[in-house]
Structure formats: C-alpha cells, structure tokens
Structure 1
Amino acid sequence: MSGPSGANKGAFAGVFTALLFAAALVGACGTLVESAWRAHAPVERYGAATAVVTGPQSVTDRLRRVGDDPEKQSRPLTERSRVQVAAAQRLRTVHGVRAVVADVSFPVLTSTGRTMTGHGWDSAALRPYKLSTGRAPQAADEVVVSGSAGVRPGQVVQMQVSEKPRPYRVTGLVASGPAAAFFTTATANALYGHPGQADALAVLADGSVDDGALKTALRAAAPGLTIATGRARGDAEDLSVAAVRPDILEIGASLGGVAVMTALVVVGGLIALSVRERAREFALLRAVGATPWQVRWQIMRETLAVGAPAALLGGVLSLGVGAGMHRAMVRKGVLPDGFGLSLSPLPVLAAFAATLLTAVLTALIACLRASRIRPVEALGEAANEKAGLPRWRRVTGIVFLVLGLNALGASTATSGPTAAAAIGGLVMCLIVATALLGPLLAGLGNRVLGRAAATVAPVAGRMAQQASAAAAVRAGSVITPVALAVAFAGTQLFAQPTVAHATTQQAAAGIRADQVLMSAGPGIPSGAADAARRVPGIAAATPVKNTTVVMAVKELGEKNLRSLPARGVGADAGAVIDPRVRSGRLADLRGPSVALSRDVAAGLKVGSVAPMWLGDGTRADLRVVAVYDRGLGFGDVLLPHDLALAHSSTQLDDQVLVRGKADLRPALTGYAGVQAVDRGALDATLSQQLKLQGFVNYVVVVAIAGFIVIGLVTTLALATAARRRELTLLRLVGATRRQVLRMLRLEAVIVLGTGIAAGGLIAAVTLMAFAFAVTGLPLPSVSLTSSGLVLLAVGGSGAAAILVPARAILRRHASPKIS
C-alpha cells in the first residue's frame, strides 16, 4: 500500500509536531527524575574520609493497604540523626581502619557578622584542612579559623554559638575550604551540647582493603547505622539534597504522567481527525478488497514513520529542556545548590518509547471504526459523517464523568493532603469525559452560541451554525484541546495561590505578636527569648523552632508516610499565637505531647496517642492535647519547644514572637545579629517562601499548557486545511470571500466558545472543591488578569489557527474551482 498522499502531508506534519513536543516534555521530566535519583550533595569536608558512619538518614515503616500486604514506605530526615561516640571503638577494630574521628558540627556567628561551622580540631583531618600559619588550639579559649574570616593569629574574636558571644584567641589559620572554626575537642563537644554523641563518625582507611569490603565490615561492626561511601558521603554532611529528593521524584513522575495523558488526548485527537479526513481513501481500500488489518497496519505504519523520528528528536531535545528546568529551579532556590544535574540516554529512551507507544495506541483506536465497516458500506460511510456517537464512547464517557464526580465528592468531604490528591484525578477524569463526549458538547454549544451567532449576523451566522452542526464529530475533536488548555492552566495557576492566600490569612489572623526577634545569622540563641521576657512591658516571648516530623497520614482511606512541617513553641505560646483550637488546650503542650491540625489528625482526638518520628528520626508516641484549624498558617504539628530543640540539628531558634511594644534593643545588645522587627517582616518572609513554592507550579503550567496550545493550534490548522473543498464550494455557489471569512469567525466563536466554557466549568468546579477543602469556603483565589491572559492565549491562538489557513485557501482559490 502507498504512503500518505500530498494532501495528507499537513496532517502528518501536525502529528510530527505534537509528538516532538510530547517527547521533549516527557524526556525533560525524566531528566528531573534521574537527577533526583542520582543526586548527592558535594563531598567537601569529608573528602579525606573513606567512609562516614551516621545514624539512619530516613524513616521507614510498613503501612497496611486495604486488601493488600503491608507496603514499605520511607521518608528522608531533615535533621541530623546523631550517632553514639562509643560506636567508634568498635569501628576502630575493623581491619583496614586507620583512625575514626567523631565529628561534631554547630553554627558559629562572629561579632563581624560572619557565619562559620564549628568543629573539634581533630575534624580538620577529614577534608583535610591544613594550617597555613600558626598552631592548633590547645586551650578552651583558643580557635583556628579559615583564612577567609579576615582575622590574624593572636587576635581575639567574639564568637556566638548558643549563648551570648564569648572571646576566643585565634592561634592559626587554615587556607582553603568552607568557612570553619576549629576548637579543642573538649571545647567543641561542650559547645555541641550533646554529650556522648556526634553528627558522624568519619573513618580513615589505611588502604589495605578495598572500599567495598571495608563498607561490608563496617556495617557488620555497627548494625543499624548508615555507612556512606563514595558520593553518598556528601549526604552525610549536607542533608538538603537528600531531603528534597523524594519531592522532586514525585514532581517529575507526576509531571511526566500528566504529559503522557495530555499527549494521549492531544495526539489522539490529531490522529483521529487525520483518519476521519482520509475516510474516502480507506473506504476505497475496503471496497477493492483490503482487510481491516491491512487498513489498520497502513495507518499504524504511517504513524510509526512519522512518530519515530519525532519521538527521537524530541527525546534528544528533552535533555536541553530538562537542563533548563533544573537551572531555573536552582536559581530560584527551589533546589539546593548541591543538587546536581544528571544527563544520560535513559530519559531519551524513555521519552522515545512512551511517545511512540502513545502514538501507536491512539492510531489503533482511531482507525478501528474506519477499518471495521463492510466493503459494501464503505463508500457510503465515507460520504456521510455520522453525528451520533458509538455506544462505547457514550458509556465510557459517562463512566469517567461518574469517576470525576466521585473525586469531586472526595475532595469536598476531606481536607489537606487528601483533597490535593483528589484534585488531579478530578481534572483528568473530567477532561477524558470531555474528549469522549465532545460531539455532544459541540451540539449543545452550537444550539446556544449558534443561535446567538445567527441573531447577530443572519446570513453568516446561520452558515456557521449549520457548518458546525454538520461536523459535530470534527468540532468535538477541536473542543477537547481547548477545554484541556483552559482547565489545566486555570487549575494549576490558581490552586497554589488559593493555598498561599489561605496561608497568609491564617497566619495574619492567628499571630498576636507585636514584635518578632529575627537573626541575620544561623539562628537565635535560647537566652534571647528570656532576655526579652524580662523587659518591663513585655507580656510574653515565645521561641519558635521550625522542624519536620514524619507521620502516617490517612489519605483517601489509606495511610501514607508524610513529612509534615512542625513548630516547637514555648510554654506561653497561647499568648502570641491563635491556631484556632477546636478541641483541647494549647496550654497543655508540654512534655511528650503534640497539637495537630485537623488536616492530619484524621480520627485522632484529644487524649489519643499519635505515633511519629521527630526531626532526627527518634520514634515518639505523643499525647494529643489539642486539634486546631489553622494548619496552613502554623504548620500541621505543634510541639513543645524543648522537645523540638532536643531533636534538631542546632540549638538555635528561628524566631521569637513577642507580645508587647517595649524597646528590646537594650536587652539584645549581647546577642550578635539578633534584632527586633515588627511583624510585617515575618509576613514578608512568609510571602517569599510561598513565592518559591509557587515557582514549580508555574514551571508545570508553562510546560504542559504550552504543549496543549501547540496541539490546539495544530489541530485547528489541520481541521481548517481539510475543508478546502467545502470553502471552495461556498465560493462557487456565490458566497463572497468576506462572507466566508465572517462565517469562519463566527464558527470559531461557536467552537472555541464551547471549548472555553467546558474548560472553564471544569476549572471552576475543581478550584471551588479545592478551596472548600482548604479554607472551608468555595472561594478560590483567582486573578482576573491571569484568567484574561489564559483566555486570550487560547482563544487568540485558536482563532488564528482557523483564520490564517482559511485566508490562504481563499487567496489560492480566488477563482472558485473544485479540484
């Protein structure tokens, strides 16, 4: 059988373009996933260590599934899991071990405003740091610092760790490496504040055994501890990359799944439209004796011929797209600086396979009806486009509509993470239902908008209404990408602002502080809150320690392990914050207790025991003393301040909330970098954090919505180009060029208006359900400017895709003649 004729080259060019962009998007998501899978923090301070032994760096639990075996789930820790120094003695007995250094780390702030990391002098051998001048520290008030600190040996420097600054004499300088301050081992352990514990045990090998055998021996000597070698040593000194890795894996996989689903809808519509326009060709093949499988094979072979180079080229381009997304996320602070980019052929191959499989699958589905008709009926079928829908499309469309309504019910009946999880399923179910029931929507839209068009312009409007009604199936193929673009862009653009708006509102309504203590350095020493509390006129001063806990949260009937934002607050927290407690008392938050937001309480009541893992991975069964509503503004978990501080990497607070307007400057003179500001600075910090969280959302919108618009333009241009005979016939029977163009403009209003209305309805239903779950009111935060830009982009590009090819056709056939 022959390939596609010249008249069909435009259709295959459109399919090629859509598959190219689909492969580029899927491969870019694969690049992010692979980068997250392979990412490790840079190895800097442990460069000379063969292995680094730490406590467990993640929490693992087995959670039961309905009707299935328990599922193993894991979440990384955001605080350091300390290790007992006594374990070093066992490690030293392992063959091949030359030395074991118990490394402690703590932030140090100098009186000049420089931030460094403090260690014991024996940790200097781990990079190694080498003295460029002077000697090692020997007394409790001596220190060696990096040459970049701008001090000289013999100079006395004020250094603040967890209390007020104290004087230390500089005895030496180290030339290179991250900014560090080295104290005597005894002094460092005292400043560290955790007797008998260390951040890590760094193993220095003598070279007598290979790294693999040494790691096996170390694991046997220290069961239950984490042994990091090679690039994994970086994760032992910097937890930020490992902490963000699961989120990027989830974002990349989710975005890739949405890209594949979008490709199914967009590419499927293109191929279906192409097959429909070639109905006469396939009817003729059936009439002369071609079997159904011969027709199907021709369509799939042509799709493979177009799809293979498109998928391959798009896969190669995806490496650049993924690198650009990675660079933008690092620049905006969404990813830590040490989160490296991994480029390999794997995303290219994955994009190639997924895109090609999508193309072949959609081609097979699209050609089923054209290949199954009997030869006797073939030409008659081609001559008339049936307006009715096959039963399977009606039934399947109704099924997806019901699934979408179920997801809507789940999102409105639940809250927090559960509602967010239901939103994605709601959008996709409604979009698939729109794709399947598109011709019915086209008919409904034509009855409403077509009558309006006929009223505005009796001749051209009636022509547009009749043309749209006569090609309901074609109009349905066009409506789907329009609805998809509006629904997806609207949902993604306004879901995160709805959360951000609710977060700022809850924080603003619940914070009663008049002033906030903040630090220009690594944090606020614990004594600053006590100093502020003693000032006359100050009613309360509550230290706040931000941390993370890991907890099993019920989502859609099943429990999943989640990392939840938590805050450790002081005993007088009730005087400065109001999280809107619905049951219990915040004043009871002391000892092994916890207060939970209603979003994660999920059946836990006051007096219940909530099992969770604290920031450093310590398992704790905490008594629930309060359940509150404002989880967005204050985090999902509130802990006693002492409990949160004891299981954090540092002994410094993040803020101190102060009730009272007295001047605090005299009380803070002894604390370097700590200053009292009005609560507006806290609101500004929160707004900046929310903007960073929203950046990933905008990346998703640009990537997916851009691809949908490209598919929309290609579909509309193809559909218009396929109407060459129809437009020429209109000119032949006496319609002027101006009348035909006006008809097409009104037809564009009917078709695009129907699609925009369907997409807008899906977005509105989704956002209202989401807003109700988040805020308790069905009022999402919607920007009229952004809404207008979305509608302008979709409507403008769609109208251009219809009118530009039509003008070219009418110009080319100025003298009407049907070819």
Structure 2
Amino acid sequence: MLILALKTLRARKGAFVAAFGTLLVAATLITACGVLLQTGIAGGVPAERYRSADVVVAGAQSYVPQRLASQPSRPDPPTRQLRERVRLDAGLAGRIGAVPGVRTVVPDVSFPVTMPAPMAGPPVLGHGWDSARLTPFTLRAGHAPQQADEVVLDASLADRAGVHAGDRIALQVNADPVAYRVTGIVEPVGGELAKQSALFFTPQRATELAGTGGRVDAFGVIAEPGTAPDSLADRISQALPERGIVTRTGTDRGAVEFLSDGNSLVALIGLSASFGGIALMVALFVVSSTLALSVQQRQREMALLRAIGTTPQQLRRMVGGEALVLGLLASVLGCLPGFPVAQWLLTVFVDSHLVSPEVRLITGPLPALAVVASLVLAAVVAGLSAARRAARTRPTEALGEAAVQRTLIGRGRLITGLVLLAASAALLVVSSSLRGTASAGAASGVVLLLIVAVAVLGPVVAKLVGLVSAPVMRRFRVGGYLASANSVTNAIRLAGSITPLVLAIGFGCVAVFVQTTQLHATEQNAKASITADYVLTAPEGVPTSVVGEIGKVPGVSSATALRQTEVIREWRFGEEVGAEVVSAIAISPGDPGRTLDLGQQQGSLSQVRGKDIALSRQTAEDMGVHVGDQVRLRLGDGSPVQLRLVCTFDRELGLGKAVLDRTLVAGHTTRERDDQVLVRADRSALGVLTQRFPALSVADGAAVRAASTDQLRANAWLNLLVVGMILLYTGIAVVNTLVMATSARTREFALLRLVGATRGQILRTTRWESALVVVSSVVLGTAVAAATLIPISLGLTGSPMPYAPPELYGGLVGVVAVMALLATEVPARIALRLRPVEAIGIKE
C-alpha cells in the first residue's frame, strides 16, 4: 500500500503541493520556537565577577506555594518567577565551608554607587573587598581598603573618572554623598568587565551600604584543586536541603550575577513555549483541514477502490501512507530553515532588550526531532481521520456515496461539536463574571474552544450558511443561483474553505486586540494616575535621600519617591493552592495625593505607612478583604508579611495593583534605590533641580507618562511579531486550501460549459461563492473573537468594548478577503483556459 500511496501522490501533484507547503511552513515555525525554547532552558549568561568561583550558591528566583498539610503527597503547584533578588543569610557560609572539597567561601553583595559627575560607561557597583578574589582582581597600585572611609576602584573606572591612588572622591549610595580616600587601583585577571564597573569597600562597610539587613546576594565558592565543580555543587545542595537555595556552575553563574538576564531566559522559555504551542495548534487545524479536503475531493476514486474489493484497512493504510510520506518530507525539509528563523527571532529579542546580548543560540537536534515526530504523527492521524468515512462505506454503496453526499457529519462528531459549544458558553459565562487577569485567563480559552467547535461542526455550519444565504443569492440570476446551489449541495467543500478563514480572522483579532486593549487601558490609567509636574530619574536609580533634598528646594510643594516592585498573594480553592504575582509600587511617606491620583475609593494613599497597604478595588475583592482587614502577602523576594489594608483605588493598570510604604520593602528589592521621584513644583524650581542634581534626568510629567508604557509597547510589539508569523502561515494555508478546492473543479466547470454556461457566468458563480465564504468567515471569525475580547475588556477596563482600531480590523479582514478572492479567482481562470471537451476527460 505504501507503493500505491506514492503513485497516488505522484498522480495528484496539486493536492500534494498544497499539503506539502502547509506542513513545510509549520515545521519551520515550530522548529524556530523549539530552538528558542531549548536556548532558554539550556542557555546561560557568561559570568564576569564570578568567573573564578567554581560554584555560586544563591537564592532560588522562584516561589512555590507550600503543599497543603492535608495532602503532603500532592505535587507542588507551578512556580512563580520572582522579580526581586532573593538573598541568603550570611550565616550559611559556615555550613558551606564545611562541605568536603570547599576551599574558600566568599559572601558577596552588590549595590549601585553614584559618582560625583555623570560618566559614560557601564553601571558602577559597590562590593566588599573580600569578593575581589571571585574575579579575581589584583592590585595595580596602592593597598586594600582597611577603614570605613577607604575604597578601591577598578582600573577602567579610575581612568574614566581621572582618579589615582591617594585621591579623595565623593560617592553616593543611598544617603548623602560621602568623601572616600582611594587606597588602591585594581585590574581584573582574564579581561576587563564589560557590563559593570567595580568599587570595593571594606566588608563591614559594604554590608552597611547594601542595606540588606546582613543578608548577602550570593556565596562564591572556590573549590580545592582537583575538585569538579558539578560534583561539589551536588554536595553543597545535599548539605543545604532547605527550599529556596540553589547552586550554579558554568554559564548558570551569570544568571545569578545578572539577575535581569537570568529572568530574561525564563521569559524566553515562556514566550517560545506559548507561541510554539499556538503554532502547533494552528498547524493541526490547517493540516487536518487540508488533508480532509484532499480526501473529500477523491471520493469517486475511493468509491471505485471499494467497489473492486479494496478493504477498509487497505484504504486507510493507503491514505495513512500518503500522509506519512507528506509529513516526513515536509517536516524534515521545513526544519532546516527553522534554525536561521530562530536566530533572527533571537536577534529581535536582543534588540528589544528582552534577552541578554550574551545569550547564544543553542542549535541541538532535539527540537527538529520533536517537530518531525509531532508533525508526522499529526499528518498520519489527520489522514486516517479523513479516510475513516470512505473506508467504512460498503462496496455496493461506494459509488452512490461518491455521487451524492447523503450524510453531512457523523453522530460522534456532531456530539463532540455540541459539547464544545456548550463548554465555550459555560466558560464565557464564567469569564464574564470575573475581573482582572482572572477574566482574561478564563476568556483566552473561549477562542480555542470556539475555533475547535467550528472546525468539528464545519459541514453543519457551512450547510446553515448556504441555506441562510440562498434566498438572497438566488435573486441574482445565473451566478448567484449556481453559487447558492453549490453551497447547499457541497457543504463539506464549503466547510473546508470557511474553517481556515475563521481561524485566521478569529485568532488574528484576539491576538491583536488583546494587546491594543491592554495597552490603551494602561496608557489611560497612567495618564490619569501621575499628576506631577516633573519626574526625576537616573539610569541606576535615584538614591533614597534625594526625595528629601528635593522637598527642600524653593518652589517645590510636594515630592514622592516611587519604586516599582511586586507582591505575591496565595489563593486556595478547595484543595488547590496557587500564587499570583501582583504588580506594586512602593512610595515614600508624606502626601502622595498631590503627585498621584489612583482614583481612591476608600481611605487615602497618605495613610500608607509602615505595615499598611493600599490595594486596587478589584484585587481587594478577589482577596475578599476590606479596609481595616489584615492581609497576608509575600514581598517581591518571597518574604512573608502581614499588612493592614487602609485604602482601595480604581486605577490598577497604570502603575500597579498595590501601594506599599518604601521603608517596608527596604532590603527586599534588587536595587535599594527609587525608580523615579514625582515632583509638584513651580517652573522656577526647574533650574534649581537641574543644578542641584546633575546626575538625574528631569522631565515633565506628560513625557514620563508616555514613557511609562514603553516596556508594555515593546512586549506588545514582540507578541504581535510572533503572532504575525503565525498569521502569515495561516494565510499560506488558507490560500493552499482555496486553491485546492477551486482547482479540483476543472471537470465541473467543463460540464457547465458543455451544457451552455458561458465563461463569464462561471467566473461570476465562483465570485459569488468566494463572497459567501469571505462574508460568512468574517461574521463567524468576528463572533469568535468578540466572545473572547468582550470578557477580557470587561475584566481589564470595566467596559465591554475592546479597543479595536478600525484601521487594524479593516486591514486584517481586508487581507484575508483579498487572499480568499485571489486564491479562488486565479485557479478558476486557469481552469477555464482548457477547452471543455478536453477538461471533461481530466481525471479527478
């Protein structure tokens, strides 16, 4: 049967090319996502200051909710990545040092330092002198710091600042600038540091300046000669069995040193896995639709084979063999361009600052093998499913079945489709009753269920479309009448054309307009939330003492420091337990009402002091708390806190869903500095601010409001880029499907011409059919998208109307419509070039 399958493929080159192209593009796209996923999992960031540490011991940058006591055997819930650095108790150094094979344990802390004048170059970070051996640094001049007012500079920083050993220099960490004597200049062994400049204080002074309460960022471990780092890391892990402690070797050390780069790898894993899964789902739909249409066009061939004695098993083996050959060839060839596409995507991610420039693409064979296996399996399953009905037909009924399709859809398929519709309706009701991210998460499943339901019930949907449109179309003489008759009697063929278009429009609208709705709502919230006249920022953050100094400037009526962070709330539903990351801001005590307006409902932001908290109204409702209640949360590094709710507000999308006192998060954020200072002041104070704080950038409030959504815009653009690639693939599949459906009608067109139809009448008929396919697909696709977007918009903005710019919607629908019309018109014109007496003899 495999030989027969090869012969049938050779005889049906058109259908082969269409299905082959669909699988080829799918393999390319999914391979690219798989390579990025492998890069995120197995990739790493080269270490700089930790390059001489054989093992780095650090806190796990993820939070796992504790198991329920009643069910200790259940697996842990999914982890949540932590934005803030998780620090460790300095007392662990003794336990690490007792592990066999450990030569030296070096505690390390890092904190930003502001030089007396702004300088170009990498950020300046301060450390304790004992951590200099982790690079290692060697003294080029002078000696190590011995007093609290002494410091050592690395050579590149000293050269940029024009400082020599013996000079005095003013440095600012978080308090006012302090004068230090430069006692030495050091050089790193193994090359200059590319991403940072180093300052070294005495260990005691560094601990004070870091402000972490005696905790350390990490421990660098230097092994005894001859000890393998990986085996030493295993022994250290056994000696420290507590949850939340990890050991890192090789390039994984860099993820500890550069926390944002390490988190970017996690983001790369999530992004590639998400879009790879969507691409695979789209591929399954399109491949199934293409192969089903191909088999449906061969009903007469299948009928003849059954009539001459071919068994159902042989028929299924033949179609399965065709699908196997198609899937194998297309997936193997399609994997090859997937690797350069992955490299291009990684470059785009790096340029958008989503991934560290040091991340290198890992091009192992595993993604390609997985893609080949999954697509071959998908093709074979789709082929066997398409051939099942033809294989079950009795030989005496086969030719009759081919001539007239008496059954639209099987009972099992009908029940499955109705169940999917019911599940979609139930999920739609649930998502409409929720708010915030919970609503968006529930509604995202609606589009998948509805598209699957449309695909399963495709022939029934197409039949209804044909019947509803028949009264209108039959008024338009020959073209409309023939188009209506074809649509009603060939519902399966019509369904094969409608389904991929519904997928393109429904999925495209959801992917695009979720982004636009969220971005628009965030911009509006941010614009209304920040009422300050000016905003002060700095590349490495604003020292905490600056807000107090700004308040003393003449003409300044109010100043509020603001630091972006997050909190974690645990939730329980029955026996299930999970965690949700909640965006938050930490503000300086005072009167933030003059620089911030979050739309307070109860209480005031000025009440947020110490262990108090303000929550958005929706977050408070989700947690079931009211003003005056105690709230159990975890800070951004996972530390548990119990706070009192003193205020609720409406605008949660602009800045955050929670407001904390800045003193509460001290020692629990990666950078012990403020992100910005909001200032309410007269214009006369602008010159004083610029002179008094030359290291800070001063911008008006409107400019910062626009910049506050830059990261969200970048993320939306990246999402739309990947979604655009998937839509491009869907468009190719749509064109393939429509070209197949039209090209297979050569004999039908010839028969119509032989009985008197003109070439123009046939073209008008195909145009009417194309218009019916486009209009019905737009209506169904828009309905599918609306069922998803309306609950999401309600959850995010409180309004049922998503932000869908007409030009974007019109452009998406227009592109799909043009593709559909051209994919029908061009093959029809080509088919009509043949003389009818010649075309009527062409085999099906």
TM-score by length of 2: 0.91
**Contact 1:144–1:183 (CA under 8 A) maintained in structure 2:** no
| Structure 1 position 189 matched with structure 2 position 194 | no
Structure 2 Cα separation of the partners of residues 58 and 388 of structure 1: 52
Comparing 345-354 with 785-794, greater Cα deviation is found at 785-794
Q: 1:304 aligns with which of 317, 324, 343?
A: 324
Structure 2 Cα separation of the partners of residues 196 and 64 of structure 1: 32
For this pair of structures, how many residues does the alignment match? 817
Deviation at 1:343, TM superposition (A): 1.7
* Equivalent residue number for residue 172 of structure 1: 185
Deviation at 1:33, TM superposition (A): 1.9
| Structure 1 position 604 matched with structure 2 position 624 | yes
Structure 1 Cα separation of the partners of residues 360 and 202 of structure 2: 35
Q: 1:10 aligns with which of 8, 11, 14?
A: 14
| Structure 1 position 353 matched with structure 2 position 373 | yes
**Aligned runs of 1:413-812 on 2, under 5 Å?**
413-455=433-475, 457-519=476-538, 521-553=539-571, 559-571=577-589, 572-601=591-620, 602-606=622-626, 607-661=628-682, 663-666=685-688, 669-812=691-834
**Contact 1:523–1:654 (CA under 8 A) maintained in structure 2:** yes
Residues 56, 483 of structure 1: alpha-carbon distance in 2 compared, 3 angstrom cutoff? closer
* Equivalent residue number for residue 80 of structure 1: 85
Residues 553, 670 of structure 1: alpha-carbon distance in 2 compared, 3 angstrom cutoff? farther
Deviation at 1:525, TM superposition (A): 1.2
Comparing 389-398 with 502-511, greater Cα deviation is found at 389-398
**Contact 2:85–2:637 (CA under 8 A) maintained in structure 1:** yes
**Contact 1:29–1:252 (CA under 8 A) maintained in structure 2:** yes
| Structure 1 position 153 matched with structure 2 position 164 | yes
Match for 1:474: what amino acid? R
Q: Tell me the SS of whatever aligns to 2:583.
A: strand
Structure 2 Cα separation of the partners of residues 605 and 741 of structure 1: 66
Q: Tell me the SS of whatever aligns to 1:233.
A: helix
| Structure 1 position 57 matched with structure 2 position 61 | yes
Match for 1:88: what amino acid? A
Structure 1 Cα separation of the partners of residues 251 and 112 of structure 2: 24
* Identity over aligned pairs, percent: 36
Structure 2 Cα separation of the partners of residues 600 and 82 of structure 1: 28
Residues 453, 105 of structure 1: alpha-carbon distance in 2 compared, 3 angstrom cutoff? same
**Contact 2:531–2:701 (CA under 8 A) maintained in structure 1:** no
Deviation at 1:796, TM superposition (A): 1.0
**Contact 1:387–1:473 (CA under 8 A) maintained in structure 2:** no
Match for 2:152: what amino acid? V
Structure 1 Cα separation of the partners of residues 574 and 822 of structure 2: 44
Superimposed CA distance per residue, residues 606-656 of structure 1 (whole angstroms, 9 cap, x where no aligned partner): 244433321223222333333433221121222111112331122210111
Residues 522, 21 of structure 1: alpha-carbon distance in 2 compared, 3 angstrom cutoff? same
Match for 1:766: what amino acid? T
Comparing 594-603 with 253-262, greater Cα deviation is found at 594-603
Structure 2 Cα separation of the partners of residues 752 and 237 of structure 1: 54
Structure 2 Cα separation of the partners of residues 808 and 66 of structure 1: 71
Q: Tell me the SS of whatever aligns to 1:197.
A: coil
4+ residue segments displaced more than 6 Å: 65-68, 554-557
Residues 195, 768 of structure 1: alpha-carbon distance in 2 compared, 3 angstrom cutoff? closer
**Contact 2:212–2:668 (CA under 8 A) maintained in structure 1:** no
Structure 2 Cα separation of the partners of residues 264 and 308 of structure 1: 15
Structure 2 Cα separation of the partners of residues 491 and 319 of structure 1: 28
Deviation at 1:452, TM superposition (A): 4.3
* Equivalent residue number for residue 117 of structure 1: 125
| Structure 1 position 363 matched with structure 2 position 383 | yes
Flag structure 2 segments of 5+ consecutive residues without an equivalent: none
Residues 514, 608 of structure 1: alpha-carbon distance in 2 compared, 3 angstrom cutoff? same
Structure 1 Cα separation of the partners of residues 459 and 324 of structure 2: 28
Deviation at 1:363, TM superposition (A): 1.4
* Equivalent residue number for residue 232 of structure 2: 214
Q: Tell me the SS of whatever aligns to 2:647.
A: strand
Superimposed CA distance per residue, residues 449-486 of structure 1 (whole angstroms, 9 cap, x where no aligned partner): 5554454x422222222222221110011100011101
Structure 1 Cα separation of the partners of residues 819 and 724 of structure 2: 15
Q: Tell me the SS of whatever aligns to 2:117.
A: coil
* Equivalent residue number for residue 162 of structure 1: 174
Structure 1 Cα separation of the partners of residues 55 and 175 of structure 2: 33
**Contact 2:19–2:326 (CA under 8 A) maintained in structure 1:** yes
Structure 2 Cα separation of the partners of residues 234 and 298 of structure 1: 54
Residues 574, 526 of structure 1: alpha-carbon distance in 2 compared, 3 angstrom cutoff? same
* Equivalent residue number for residue 41 of structure 1: 45
Structure 2 Cα separation of the partners of residues 556 and 721 of structure 1: 57
**Contact 1:576–1:657 (CA under 8 A) maintained in structure 2:** yes
**Contact 2:751–2:836 (CA under 8 A) maintained in structure 1:** no
Comparing 395-404 with 617-626, greater Cα deviation is found at 617-626
Q: Tell me the SS of whatever aligns to 2:829.
A: helix
**Contact 1:24–1:351 (CA under 8 A) maintained in structure 2:** no
TM-score by length of 1: 0.94
Superimposed CA distance per residue, residues 472-515 of structure 1 (whole angstroms, 9 cap, x where no aligned partner): 11001110001110111111011011011111111222223222
Residues 42, 208 of structure 1: alpha-carbon distance in 2 compared, 3 angstrom cutoff? closer
Residues 399, 232 of structure 1: alpha-carbon distance in 2 compared, 3 angstrom cutoff? same
Deviation at 1:106, TM superposition (A): 1.0
**Contact 2:562–2:587 (CA under 8 A) maintained in structure 1:** yes
Structure 2 Cα separation of the partners of residues 428 and 540 of structure 1: 50
**Contact 1:595–1:624 (CA under 8 A) maintained in structure 2:** yes
Flag structure 1 segments of 5+ consecutive residues without an equivalent: none
Residues 620, 322 of structure 1: alpha-carbon distance in 2 compared, 3 angstrom cutoff? same
Q: 1:203 aligns with which of 221, 233, 245?
A: 221
| Structure 1 position 291 matched with structure 2 position 291 | no
